[in-house]
Amino acid sequence: MAIKSFDEYVASLRKLKPTVYMFGEKIDNPVDNPRIRAGINATGATYELAQDEKCRDLIVTTSPLSGEPINRFTLPPQSIQDLVLRVKINRVLGSRVGTCHQRCTGLDCLCTLSIVTYDIDKKCGTHYYDRFIDFLKYVQKHDLTGNAGVTDVKGDRSLSPHEQEDKDMYLRVVDQTKEGIIVKGAKVHQTGSLSCHEVIVLPTRTLAQGDEDYALAFAIPADTKGLIHVVGRNSMDTREIEGVDCGNTRYSKYCPTLIFDEVLVPWERVFMFREVEFAADTVSRFSAYHRQSHGGCKSGKIDAMTGAALLMMEYNGTSKAGHHKEKVTDMIHIAETLYGCSLAASYEGKKEPSGTYFIDPVLANASKIHEGREMAQVTRFLIDVAGGFVADLPSDRDINHPEIGGLLKKYLKGATGIPVEKRIKMLRLVEKMAMESADTISDIHGGGSPAAHRLTIFRETDINYKKNCAKRLAGIED
Amino acid sequence: MAIKSFDEYVASLRKLKPTVYMFGEKIDNPVDNPRIRAGINATGATYELAQDEKCRDLIVTTSPLSGEPINRFTLPPQSIQDLVLRVKINRVLGSRVGTCHQRCTGLDCLCTLSIVTYDIDKKCGTHYYDRFIDFLKYVQKHDLTGNAGVTDVKGDRSLSPHEQEDKDMYLRVVDQTKEGIIVKGAKVHQTGSLSCHEVIVLPTRTLAQGDEDYALAFAIPADTKGLIHVVGRNSMDTREIEGVDCGNTRYSKYCPTLIFDEVLVPWERVFMFREVEFAADTVSRFSAYHRQSHGGCKSGKIDAMTGAALLMMEYNGTSKAGHHKEKVTDMIHIAETLYGCSLAASYEGKKEPSGTYFIDPVLANASKIHEGREMAQVTRFLIDVAGGFVADLPSDRDINHPEIGGLLKKYLKGATGIPVEKRIKMLRLVEKMAMESADTISDIHGGGSPAAHRLTIFRETDINYKKNCAKRLAGIED
Amino acid sequence: MAIKSFDEYVASLRKLKPTVYMFGEKIDNPVDNPRIRAGINATGATYELAQDEKCRDLIVTTSPLSGEPINRFTLPPQSIQDLVLRVKINRVLGSRVGTCHQRCTGLDCLCTLSIVTYDIDKKCGTHYYDRFIDFLKYVQKHDLTGNAGVTDVKGDRSLSPHEQEDKDMYLRVVDQTKEGIIVKGAKVHQTGSLSCHEVIVLPTRTLAQGDEDYALAFAIPADTKGLIHVVGRNSMDTREIEGVDCGNTRYSKYCPTLIFDEVLVPWERVFMFREVEFAADTVSRFSAYHRQSHGGCKSGKIDAMTGAALLMMEYNGTSKAGHHKEKVTDMIHIAETLYGCSLAASYEGKKEPSGTYFIDPVLANASKIHEGREMAQVTRFLIDVAGGFVADLPSDRDINHPEIGGLLKKYLKGATGIPVEKRIKMLRLVEKMAMESADTISDIHGGGSPAAHRLTIFRETDINYKKNCAKRLAGIED
Amino acid sequence: MAIKSFDEYVASLRKLKPTVYMFGEKIDNPVDNPRIRAGINATGATYELAQDEKCRDLIVTTSPLSGEPINRFTLPPQSIQDLVLRVKINRVLGSRVGTCHQRCTGLDCLCTLSIVTYDIDKKCGTHYYDRFIDFLKYVQKHDLTGNAGVTDVKGDRSLSPHEQEDKDMYLRVVDQTKEGIIVKGAKVHQTGSLSCHEVIVLPTRTLAQGDEDYALAFAIPADTKGLIHVVGRNSMDTREIEGVDCGNTRYSKYCPTLIFDEVLVPWERVFMFREVEFAADTVSRFSAYHRQSHGGCKSGKIDAMTGAALLMMEYNGTSKAGHHKEKVTDMIHIAETLYGCSLAASYEGKKEPSGTYFIDPVLANASKIHEGREMAQVTRFLIDVAGGFVADLPSDRDINHPEIGGLLKKYLKGATGIPVEKRIKMLRLVEKMAMESADTISDIHGGGSPAAHRLTIFRETDINYKKNCAKRLAGIED
């Protein structure tokens, strides 16, 4: 059965036995660790949507490979409409989980490989595309979630991969056997690596001659031997673990460091091997897809933040304050800007030789530049509207304390007629959405750094057309 | 014949005998006045495009009314594709004329009336829609340009129309006869009123009971008796008149004050008469269409400005300066933002009862808010890259002067290998694009003030959806 | 002895026995609670400075009351130089603690009262000034730290104090006896209330007739009976408690909710009682002083953030990246803007009737508006330069773990020649400085909301002067 | 007599016989050319101030050289107070002329030379300082205005002076005789070169070995043989010439290109000759002083723009519109930011070996970065508040026309009770202040480009101090 329910999804994760460390401890059952589980819940929302009457039509479609119903998060886009729905579904999900749902990155890898493996084969006479399609059928059949193993640790950033002192600073092949290749290295900021079934690895940057060992793409199960997930710290990380003061009552995000300690990848799962000249296109397509995804999910997250701001106005008694309305209007404007540019990138997409549709990269990057710059403003506006308790609201353990709980409830009361509990919950949600580092950093670095987005927009622009416009107006003939 | 050539267009304007004043003089032949002619040339570009092999398919389509080929500037959109092409054609035109082409406003009036007259008829049992369709057929048949008579002088802005001391501060009906209605008032900032054949009048604001005399929509020829065009001043206005130092060698913009000194409008040209309750919808639809138009033409204008910046870098010898590239990237980013939001507004449009397609108003306004705020930055970046001569370049009369011309040409020389004439021409174009007040003010006030765009975006947003997102995340049940 | 050392300061706090709750537990020894202690350390830096050879001259001065040496944090400014040194000392401290040092608010209350009590006495014939001077002598003699009890909980913000359903939403007098007054209410966001000896209470807003019970100013020891400190949550709050992954190795910030559960204030400590007409001036002076303070400490904090950004460039190997240098330049520019406006506010200060110097409020607010808007940008730049590990760096518990520590150290290595430990420590500091909610929220709401700063700047500006300039230029005579 | 009146100033200019071209014509009497005269009037305001009861004390001081009263515009600062008054006088003047008063640049050259000539002598054993002091005495004695001959035409900006194809792209010495040196080249953007008595030349950039011929500083009368002033175009340049629709009724700005067509400079007026190693310091000091000056005059100009915005609100009837008040508040905030940073730069100044006081360059550049970025916003806000007539207000020739004048006056009427003439005049002033290219370009390029300001701020900052702050907090020991 191709479409998993939320429960089936969680059950399928339980069957995996990944190696996991967090805060100095080995975690044997990550699915039931409350912090990791909050992330799993967020990805789980993509499964819930397929069970939701109102959203099913949006997210369930038919596989062109199998003719079976599949979740769109397993489908490289086969039409403009598919591209557009990526953005719309992401917006719904962003507003539904109020954080990153973590399933887009795997899909963005699938989209990329569905183009690039075809192009490599055409040029090099290899057979990656068929391997990839087999993998894709498997993913669709089991409604699996993939994780994007893209960002290497990079070591000294002024040096290319093969120039590094320690050659493992970018994931590389260290050996090959009849069964497959042995890889070594680490991928970082692996959003949701324990919420996924498969880790899909792509190169993280342009490669040149000498970097052949680093030109790799492949997929392996998240619990493959030698893979170590180290779940790092983020700003609110102990809240879910303690089960108190979470703000977002169900969802959160975590981003492990993923060490590949000499991991075997079977040949049928290898999708690029030493073709350095395709690394640039691979990373550039992945990034473009991922920036398009952000235009959806982050505008959805702003929807939830805008709602929180409006409710804080109600709960504080400032609904009529003009300067608060101005800030909410700015928040809406930013959401629509991310969304509009990302939608336009989709509608203006084009078909690639393999049949997959690719978005307009300039418009997709235009959206992401706004995100990188203006999510910080959205957060600022939200804090401004909500007030100082975003930083120092007493814990629920105090609010429910027999001695001082009553006093706290008395003094935390806001606008007339609003139960104090509502205000407390909403302040806590604001705290989570404003101060969760895993989200904040992703606004800036997700899909590459702001400088990368800018470079892309410049590189992909038709500079000569613009020059010719100016020459014609000025009366300059060449 | 439905499609006019540029020459036919100019010839058709020559047949009109409008009453025109400029700088204290009556202008008998506006078509040959160099300043007005530069504006006519800009509108003429919309006719040229229909003759241009490369653009003909973009701008020529078939009338659903007559089955004849027509210029899209006479077509209320009948599909999503029609909406999208509005933006794309405007972008081409903006980059082609480097200023406002001035033909969109008339079309935006036609679009609006094609929806609103239908809706009025449905509600009030009137017959405006048929009248309007007759007018539209006439416009299409002769490939006419319309002018949007929207903005009233407004008098004291703290008072509604009927509260004004002088009741003519908003255009109103002062009498009615068997032939038609007599109207009085003035419409201002009438971009291209002498480049058009017909003036199409709509209300400029929401009206309420008591304002019935002001609830008017109609169309009359630009040379109707009693209509007085007073061409005001703009920043570079004497350049075209003197025929020197124009910068933009062919195109410019002018925006007369248009006085309706008791003008008769025949009944068959009256499209709204005293239906106050439809004023708000009329102005809101016009504004939304017009803001969508801006997303196209202004991104096109930025294309030309970006080209000018890149050429100035070449001509000055600063092509490798990183901070200049950064500014050019910002210019591109702003263009794509205006364009992306405006395109998305088009793709997300919907069919109205009359069959006309209407854009998504939130996304159209999102585009316009960026324009109002960021065109000033585009200008600043252009000046920054070009250098100080944007303000004080010697006149061509000095550069060609027998005594000092040689010295000036010597000292105005820039990068090695670039003829000094190119640099001079490009600096002059930059001056025009950066400092032309008619354009600068339109960036801010075109299609209503920035405050109006913000109000719209707030009003058209589904506030409750956003609140519910936040409540669900915070665990608040109502 | 008037000048306390750091150790004497901590010892003096130990003698206090305040009532404290945190995370559901009663805290008997706040000084040794690691989280509260990190805040105490930050305030302690103001004592350290007085022992530091290089800074002693900056921070130690002579009391005009006693002729004894005192710490400037107990001195209402008696000269322009005193005003200027407030800013300079705050900058040093901000860069030294990398967070809020928490001692300025108490001083800002002293400054305010040294003006207002004098003015009330002059107008009302009361004797608050003498009482206040006695209190000030006591503070100076023992080198005490004060806490600003200013921000009330406010309840329904659309209602004034006496209109609230629950009359205790603003601190008020509920009874008076021979000994003193009994007060009830709560003050929130009480930065460092357990790092201080005395709580100094001022009204939080303009008051009008009917609000007499709320027009109160007084000072009481931080462990007065009935005072309850509830230390709330902030984003990184469990790090100090667990003693791991702190980032800032020594300093932090906490901001309790402070409940006044019917607290007796002896008459000799009451500095305003029911004089509603002085509430506006009191809060406006306090805010202006506090905004001036921010211009110093926050520019100092940016100094530390800038240093962190520069070191991250070194440690990552991106020191030559132009776009990183640009961002560092922006960070410096913002620091200098806050500092410059705050310094100018000081140099342009004026002597008040009581002899205390008051800063120029327009320039002080100009500084704070920048902070409220641009600290979010500083943070964004820092994250951008530092990279994605700001959000998900593995815990030191993993980095030092026997099984995976070696692998983590291998893969967390950055630029050639830089020990991995340095990079880890610096990333952790960046996380703390970028994501500490107690600081982030203070950037926006410290010294009142951004809307308040804007209102002040408008209200304190000579509008007529500006109008007259324009009239003269336009040739308009009245 | 050391202090000239406005009339004496104009009379003194009449005695000069400079070579002037404008718009293809030789101008024999520049003082009576209305366009140039508007600029002379602006500089004349610095003389008026010395006659104005209220300002005399501000602007008149005593020469430390002669003991005579002098205008401060002839005084290199001898104290912190002198530095501060530079800013304050500039603010008064900016608000008084609503444009550039054009006398600061000459003073900034005097300030620079009073430091640099001393330093060269100390290092090289030359005698420039005495020569310079003689020149300064002469300037003070006759209350002369100087013009800053700094910006060279620069040719190919990727090449240094001696690498240029045409060696005259930077002003250079081409010969030397017993009488003096012969110089050749051109200086551009010579604001007010015909409003001044003396042209003071400095190098425009850092020079290196090989550039010796370009390392020059000197002063010559504005009508020296071989000097050719070519007055170029700016956006509103024909208004003064035609004497209609000027907006600013009395003042304006013009910036000639100044050609040195083999000009003899007598030895006693040569202040630097081939000392390449002092070029960098010279230009950096000049720029720093000039950026400080801008912080005064531009904040003053914003005062006038703010006044115009406030009056437009009154005249349009929008005084109660919250979003207009917000924009005015932003305008005030920007003015205070420029002013505050510039004042702080002054108060934090230091004494140089020659006795002249130099400002803090980081703070002075911080001010200028704001100007370069935010004056465009001030302009945008002003246009936003004023409305569309900024671009197309009918000419006074039409408004006073016998046939249509009455109609225009009827329809241009604004708020109840405001004479239409006031509104017309104020709209015209807004047009001038918003769209005058000579001012707009100076906001960006005055005192060097924005990139130069940023470079300076980075270079002059103590980077190591900041790094050490971060290391200490992170617990990193070197």
Task: Spell out the long-range contacts of C122-126 with Cβ–Cβ below 8 A and sequence spacing 24 or more.
Answer: C122/C353, C124/C275, C126/C275
Instruction: Find out whether B291 and B364 touch, Cβ atoms under 8 Å.
Output: yes
pLDDT digits (tens, 9 = 90+) for C14-72: 999 999 999 999 999 999 999 999 999 999 999 999 999 999 999 999 999 999 999 99
Chain B residues within an 8 Å CB radius of A323: none
Of B24, B401, B407, the CB nearest to D397: B24
pLDDT, mean of each 10-residue run, chain D (478 residues): 91 98 97 98 97 93 96 98 98 97 97 98 98 98 97 97 98 98 98 97 97 98 98 96 96 97 98 98 96 96 97 97 96 97 98 98 96 96 97 98 98 97 98 97 91 91 92 90
Chain A interface, best mutation among C167, C204, C411, C433, by max A CB count within 10 A: C411
Chain A interface, best mutation among C392, C400, C454, by max A CB count within 10 A: C392
Is A325 an interface residue toward B (CB < 8 Å)?
yes
Query: Is residue A477's pLDDT more than 90?
Result: no
Report DSSP state, residue B213.
G
Using CA atoms of A117, A122, A128, A129 in order, give the dihedral in degrees to the nearest 10. Answer: 70
Q: What is the pLDDT of residue D2?
A: 81
Is A344 an interface residue toward B (CB < 8 Å)?
yes
Confidence of residue C477 (pLDDT cuts 50, 70, 90): confident
Q: How many CB atoms lie within 10 A of CB B11?
A: 12
Give the 3-state secondary structure of residue B300: helix
**Distance separating alpha carbons of residues C454 and C127, to the nearest angstrom:** 35
| Mean pLDDT of the A139-161 span | 97
Q: Which of residues 176-215 of C touch A (CB under 8 A)?
A: 185-186, 188-189
Name every residue whose Cβ is closer than 8 Å to that of residue C369 and which is 6 or more positions away in sequence: C450, C453, C454, C457, D333
Chain D interface, best mutation among C95, C368, C476, C477, by max D CB count within 10 A: C476
Of A24, A379, A391, the CB nearest to C398: A24
Instruction: Find out whether B398 and D22 touch, Cβ atoms under 8 Å.
Output: yes
Of D156, D186, D437, the CB nearest to B414: D156
Is A337 an interface residue toward B (CB < 8 Å)?
yes
| Mean pLDDT of the A237-262 span | 97
Report the b/e string of C292-314 with b at 16+ CB within 10 A. Answer: bbbbbbbbbbbbbbbbbbbbbbb
SS3 per residue for chain A: CCCCCHHHHHHHHHCCCCEEEECCEECCCHHHCHHHHHHHHHHHHHHHHHHCHHHHHHHEEECCCCCCEEEHHHCCCCCHHHHHHHHHHHHHHHHHHCCCCCCHHHHHHHHHHHHHHHHHHHHHCCCHHHHHHHHHHHHHHHCCCEEEECCECCCCCCCCHHHCCCHHHCCEEEEECCCEEEEEEEECCCCCCCCCCEEEECCCCCCCCCCHHHCEEEEEECCCCCEEEEECCCCCHHHHHHCCCCCCCCCCCCCCEEEEEEEEEEHHHEEEECCHHHHHHHHHHHHHHHHHHHHHHHHHHHHHHHHHHHHHHHHHCCCCCHHHHHHHHHHHHHHHHHHHHHHHHHHCCEECCCCCEECCHHHHHHHHHHHHHHHHHHHHHHHHHHCCHHHHCCCHHHHCCCCCHHHHHHHCCCCCCCCHHHHHHHHHHHHHHHHCHHHHHHHHHCCCCHHHHHHHHHHCCCHHHHHHHHHHHHCCCC
Q: What is the pLDDT of residue B2?
A: 81
Instruction: Find out whether B75 and B118 touch, Cβ atoms under 8 Å.
Output: no
Q: What is the pLDDT of residue C283?
A: 96
Nearest to D344 by CA among C347, C359, C357: C347
The continuous run of DSSP H or E covering C206 comes out as: none
Chain D residues within an 8 Å CB radius of B404: 21, 228, 230, 259
**Distance separating alpha carbons of residues A5 and A47, to the nearest angstrom:** 6
**Distance separating alpha carbons of residues B234 and B240, to the nearest angstrom:** 12
Instruction: Find out whether C259 and C306 touch, Cβ atoms under 8 Å.
Output: no
For the record, the structure tokens of B119 come out as 């809706």
| Mean pLDDT of the C404-432 span | 97
Q: How many CB atoms lie within 10 A of CB A51?
A: 15
Q: Which of residues 111-170 of A touch C (CB under 8 A)?
A: 151, 153-159, 165-166, 168-169
For the record, the structure tokens of B122 come out as 């449905």
pLDDT digits (tens, 9 = 90+) for B415-441: 999 999 999 999 999 999 999 999 999
Q: Are the beta carbons of C366 and D306 separated by less than 8 Å? A: no
Query: Is residue A478's pLDDT more than 80?
Result: no
Q: Are the beta carbons of A22 and C395 separated by less than 8 Å? A: yes
Q: Please, what sign has the CA dihedral across residues B430, B436, B439, B441?
A: positive
Q: What are phi and psi of B3, to 5 degrees?
A: -105, 115
Please name every residue paired with B228 in a beta bridge, in sequence order, or none if there are none: B19, B259
Q: What are phi and psi of C265, to 5 degrees?
A: -115, 115
**Distance separating alpha carbons of residues B93 and D196, to the nearest angstrom:** 47
- DSSP assignment of C326-392: HHHHHHHHHHHHHHHHHHHHHHT-EE-TTS-EE--HHHHHHHHHHHHHHHHHHHHHHHHHH-THHHH
Q: What is the pLDDT of residue B334?
A: 97
The bridge status of strand D146-149 relative to strand D198-201 is: parallel
pLDDT digits (tens, 9 = 90+) for A98-148: 999 999 999 999 999 999 999 999 999 999 999 999 999 999 999 999 999
Is A326 an interface residue toward D (CB < 8 Å)?
yes
Q: Give the percent of chain C with pLDDT over 90.
A: 97
Q: What is the pLDDT of residue B1?
A: 57
**Distance separating alpha carbons of residues B292 and B87, to the nearest angstrom:** 7
Q: What is the pLDDT of residue D448?
A: 87
Instruction: Find out whether C180 and C144 touch, Cβ atoms under 8 Å.
Output: no
Residues composing chain A: 478
Instruction: Find out whether B228 and D407 touch, Cβ atoms under 8 Å.
Output: yes
Nearest to D207 by CA among D176, D172, D242, D178: D172
Radius of gyration of chain B (CA): 23
**Distance separating alpha carbons of residues D149 and D168, to the nearest angstrom:** 15
Q: How many CB atoms lie within 10 A of CB B29?
A: 11
Q: What are phi and psi of A43, to 5 degrees?
A: -65, -35
Please name every residue paired with A149 in a beta bridge, in sequence order, or none if there are none: A201
Give the 3-state secondary structure of residue C174: strand
pLDDT digits (tens, 9 = 90+) for C220-241: 999 999 999 999 999 999 999 9
| Mean pLDDT of the A239-251 span | 96
Q: What is the pLDDT of residue B447?
A: 85
Residues composing chain B: 478
**Distance separating alpha carbons of residues A176 and A183, to the nearest angstrom:** 9
For the record, the structure tokens of B26 come out as 């009556």
**Distance separating alpha carbons of residues A117 and A113, to the nearest angstrom:** 5
**Distance separating alpha carbons of residues D93 and D82, to the nearest angstrom:** 16
Chain A residues within an 8 Å CB radius of B476: 422, 425-426
Of C380, C431, C451, the CB nearest to A376: C380
Digit-by-digit pLDDT tens for chain B (478 residues) are 589 999 999 999 999 999 999 999 999 999 999 999 999 999 999 999 999 999 999 999 999 999 999 999 999 999 999 999 999 999 999 999 999 999 999 999 999 999 999 999 999 999 999 999 999 999 999 999 999 999 999 999 999 999 999 999 999 999 999 999 999 999 999 999 999 999 999 999 999 999 999 999 999 999 999 999 999 999 999 999 999 999 999 999 999 999 999 999 999 999 999 999 999 999 999 999 999 999 999 999 999 999 999 999 999 999 999 999 999 999 999 999 999 999 999 999 999 999 999 999 999 999 999 999 999 999 999 999 999 999 999 999 999 999 999 999 999 999 999 999 999 999 999 999 999 999 999 999 988 889 999 999 899 999 999 999 999 999 998 7
Nearest to B146 by CA among B181, B207, B187, B206: B187
Of A395, A411, A435, the CB nearest to C235: A435
Please name every residue paired with D184 in a beta bridge, in sequence order, or none if there are none: D172
For the record, the structure tokens of C294 come out as 């921010």
Q: What are phi and psi of B439, to 5 degrees?
A: -80, -45
Provide the total of helices (H) and of strands (E) in chain B, helices listed first: 17, 14
pLDDT digits (tens, 9 = 90+) for C305-358: 999 999 999 999 999 999 999 999 999 999 999 999 999 999 999 999 999 999
**Distance separating alpha carbons of residues C149 and A349, to the nearest angstrom:** 59
Is A248 an interface residue toward B (CB < 8 Å)?
yes
Query: Is residue A340's pLDDT more than 90?
Result: yes
Residues composing chain C: 478
This prediction has a pTM of 0.97
Q: Please, what sign has the CA dihedral across residues C13, C14, C18, C20?
A: positive
Tokens 């006074």 — which residue?
A: D396
Q: Which residue of D has its CA nearest to C463?
A: D307
Is B28 an interface residue toward C (CB < 8 Å)?
no
Chain D interface, best mutation among B21, B411, B454, by max D CB count within 10 A: B411
Q: Residue D98, CB half-sphere, CA atoms under 13 Å: how many?
A: 34
